[in-house]
Amino acid sequence: MSEIYKENLFITLQFLRNVNGQNKYHWGLFLSGSSPPAGILMHATDTNRAALDLYLEERRVSNPLRSGTMVVVLKIADAPSLDTLRKCASSIHLMDPRYLPRGEDRWTCRVWVKEMLKSLHKHRCISLPADVDVIEQYCQYMADSHLQYKGDARVFNDLNWVRAGSSSSSSKATLSEADARGGGRYYGPSPMNIDSTGGRYYGSSPMVIDSTTKRYYGPSPMDTRT
């Protein structure tokens, strides 16, 4: 089994179903701490609600690789602090149709992950290796390519998977277009200071993780039981 390295931010994809020949996945962000494979999962989920009535859940996971549906765990950046993740999450208006990104029909777990990556990159908390839409294509490509490992997930602890994903001709074209407009790359100074003495944080107040937010109601969509 692959290992998860400490203090990294990962994109996780778990297989849900196949719809008209296209594999659908549940997307999340996993923050590995100083004692991997344990870490923090943040994701948009509809557990114990109507389908796609999403809410943000943050919970501690002892080992995400125990999930029977996990396919790939893909490093996207060095780990920001958990407080930084919470502050970025608090600025995303999940389920508000007024803030639905252009080109999306509805809020989904995938859309939430993309918006989180955009926010983290915009506020200089991480530096993305490519445009977010390109990263999405690479994630789909990697999950589809490793679907046979469902339940024995493949872990990528560096960004080589982004280059591997570029073997898809459509991804190559999109990456070239992204490079032409800057590729979503960050060339600025060090990550922003979002405390009261440094660069001011203009989003909504940091997310309060109360017992309702952190509660996990069942195995779907991420079963981490042995």
Q: Which residues contact 186 (CB under 8 A, 6 or more apart)?
A: 121, 124, 127, 128
**Residue 206 placed within a domain:** no
**Residue 164 placed within a domain:** yes
The domain total for the chain is: 1
Mean pLDDT of 151-159: 97
**Residue 147 placed within a domain:** yes
pLDDT, one tens digit per residue, over 5-16 is 999 999 999 999
Looking at residue 164, what is its pLDDT? 72
pLDDT, one tens digit per residue, over 206-224 is 333 333 333 333 334 444 3
Q: Which amino acid is at 35?
A: S
Q: pLDDT at residue 21 above 90?
A: yes
Which domain does 67 fall in, by range?
8-187
Global pTM? Answer: 0.76
* Whether residue 206 has a cis bond before it, omega within 30° of 0: no
CA atoms of 207 and 91, how far apart (whole Å) = 9
pLDDT, one tens digit per residue, over 157-189 is 999 999 776 555 444 444 434 333 333 333 233
Judge residue 118's burial from the number of C-beta atoms within 10 Å of its C-beta, 0-12 exposed, 13-18 middle, 19 or more buried: middle
Mean pLDDT of 37-49: 97
Looking at residue 205, what is its pLDDT? 36
